[in-house]
């Protein structure tokens, strides 16, 4: 079996509530650090992970809610600071960038899952009969090539006869076809 690259996130799915909790914790840390200490990475991390493990919609909700909640906390009675236009613009711009990243990560995760679902690799040496082309499976039983490959790859087969085999095995059929054309 092919080993996953170290840089690729592990496969799996998580309930969206995990990302809401994670985003809330990071939002609280950002709030405690004050209005002027902003760490955009705190928004990117939960949104990217939510997109990868829970899909597009949880990531989009998180990407939109976190910057808006940050503005609400800082301007509300708890924060009670006066927000400048540039501060609001910067926060909203950061939110827009994070929304784009959420969509990108969600699409990337979707493509990775689609590829993982479609690609089933046949690896190693296959013991195949030189005459009938049957393959010995893991249980030591011989099965038809088509059945072996179909079980492991989802491929379907249709059968035909190539021209050289047609000439060798069905010469009368070819002669009759040529006579009908003339």
List the chain domain ranges.
16-118, 135-181
Cα–Cα distance list, 18 to 43, 46, 103 (Å): 15, 9, 19
- Is the pTM higher than 0.75? The answer reads no
Work out the percent of the chain whose per-residue pLDDT is above 90: 7
Return left, alpha or beta for 9; rule: phi > 0 is left, psi -120 to 50 is alpha, else beta.
beta
Task: Name the band, by pLDDT with cuts 50, 70 and 90, for residue 84.
Answer: confident
Calculate the CA 44 to chain-centre distance.
Answer: 19
Cα–Cα distance list, 102 to 6, 19, 44, 88 (Å): 22, 13, 8, 21
């Amino acid at each position: 079996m092919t080993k996953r690259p170290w840089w690729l996130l592990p496969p799996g799915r998580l309930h969206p509530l995990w990302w809401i909790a994670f985003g809330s914790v990071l939002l609280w840390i950002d709030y405690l650090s004050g209005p002027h200490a902003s760490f955009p990475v705190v928004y990117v991390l939960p949104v990217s992970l939510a997109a990868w493990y829970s899909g597009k919609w949880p990531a989009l909700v998180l990407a939109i809610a976190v910057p808006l909640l940050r503005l609400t906390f800082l301007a509300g009675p708890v924060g009670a600071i006066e927000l400048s236009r540039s501060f609001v613009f910067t926060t909203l711009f950061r939110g827009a960038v994070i929304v784009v990243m959420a969509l990108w990560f969600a699409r990337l995760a979707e493509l990775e899952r689609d590829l993982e679902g479609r690609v089933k690799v046949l690896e190693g040496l296959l013991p195949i009969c030189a005459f009938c082309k049957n393959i010995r499976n893991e249980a030591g039983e011989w099965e038809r090539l088509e059945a072996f490959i179909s079980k492991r790859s989802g491929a379907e087969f249709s059968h035909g006869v190539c021209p050289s085999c047609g000439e060798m095995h069905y010469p009368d059929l070819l002669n009759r076809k040529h006579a009908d054309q003339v």
